């Protein structure tokens, strides 16, 4: 059954298999929400636990339903592009919720802004609904979801703004050896839990390392770190080729 306020009540809500996705769906009207929910429910390992049409509902439902992922439209009833603000707030208030921003189109500017807001993936309405489940599961697995063209746009944007380098021009590395290890694992898509197991640390310690990494590099999210690391690899590959020549 569904209550009038949008929260999904399901008698089997606690019977989902371990590792399943608990998803919140937010769009500008109930009909759009239902269309997305119908598409997502085809995947057995994704359980829709809540829906919302406003920013207020999103945060209320997150507190009530504890989703670990959220599919949020760029535009909600609060206004055009209000979804970007919601994603940005979720990044700071509920970092445990992995967000996917639903865009009307894959226009370059929207894609870049989506990742800057803190989205872990983007899904365009023009994309096939068949790929929606894969998008959600990929993001929940700690990876980034974007097409090669969209990722290229983001990498170019990061390269142009020239953020602090992982290795300074003097050759000095601004990060400690352990911070470098954490940063490398983050760029490979590892979650905090995975990093803790890999380096034999507590998750709390990993979070502290990430705080110092972001502070030293002038970044605010792991998405920025992942994308910048990839951009850095691309800029260094031509230099390496020239040196071999």
Within 142-244, residue ranges assigned H as helices are 148-161, 177-187, 192-199, 203-217, 222-244
Residue 127 in 3-state DSSP?
coil
Residue 182 and residue 23: Cα distance in Å, rounded? Answer: 28
Going across the sheet that includes 21-26, the strands are: 46-52, 21-26, 69-73, 98-103, 121-124
Full set of structural domains in the chain with CATH: 21-156 (3.40.50.2300), 162-244 (1.10.10.10)
Cβ neighbourhood burial of 76 (10 Å; 0-12, 13-18, 19+)? buried
For 53-57, 131-135, 174-178, 201-205, which range has the lowest pLDDT when averaged over its residues? 174-178
pLDDT band at 42 (very low <50, low <70, confident <90, very high): confident
Report the run of H or E that residue 86 belongs to, with start and end.
helix 82-93
Q: What does the radius of gyration of the chain's CA atoms come to, in whole angstroms?
A: 19
pLDDT, tens digit, for every residue of 13-33? 333 445 689 999 999 999 999
For the residues 137-149, what does the mean pLDDT come to?
A: 87
- Model pTM greater than 0.85? no
pLDDT at residue number 229: 66
| C-beta separation of 180 from 228 below 8 A | no
The pLDDT tens digits for 148-206 are 788 777 777 766 654 445 555 555 557 888 988 888 888 776 778 888 999 999 989 99
> Does the pLDDT of residue 1 top 50, yes or no?
no
| 122 neighbors 87 (Cβ within 8 angstroms) | no
């Amino acid at each position: 059954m569904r209550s009038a306020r949008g929260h999904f009540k399901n008698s089997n809500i606690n019977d989902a298999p371990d590792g399943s996705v608990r998803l919140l769906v937010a769009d500008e009207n109930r009909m759009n929400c239902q269309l997305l929910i119908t598409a997502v429910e085809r995947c057995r390992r994704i359980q829709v636990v809540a829906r919302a049409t406003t920013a207020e509902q999103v945060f209320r439902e997150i507190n009530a339903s504890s989703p670990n992922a959220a599919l949020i439209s760029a535009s909600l009833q609060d206004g055009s592009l209000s979804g970007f603000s919601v994603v940005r707030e979720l990044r700071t208030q509920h970092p445990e919720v992995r967000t996917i921003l639903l865009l009307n189109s894959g226009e370059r500017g929207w894609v870049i802004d989506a990742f800057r807001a803190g989205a872990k993936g983007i899904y365009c309405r023009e994309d096939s609904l068949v790929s929606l489940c894969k998008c959600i599961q990929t993001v929940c697995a700690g990876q980034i979801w974007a097409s090669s063209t969209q990722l290229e746009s983001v990498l170019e944007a990061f390269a142009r703004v020239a953020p602090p380098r992982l290795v300074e021009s003097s050759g000095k590395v601004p990060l400690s050896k352990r911070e470098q290890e954490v940063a490398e694992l983050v760029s490979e898509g590892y979650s905090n839990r995975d990093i803790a197991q890999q380096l034999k640390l507590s998750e709390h310690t990993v979070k502290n390392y990430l705080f110092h990494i972001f502070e030293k590099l002038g970044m605010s999210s792991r998405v920025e770190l992942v994308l910048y690391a990839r951009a850095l690899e691309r800029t260094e590959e031509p230099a390496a080729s020239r040196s071999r020549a």
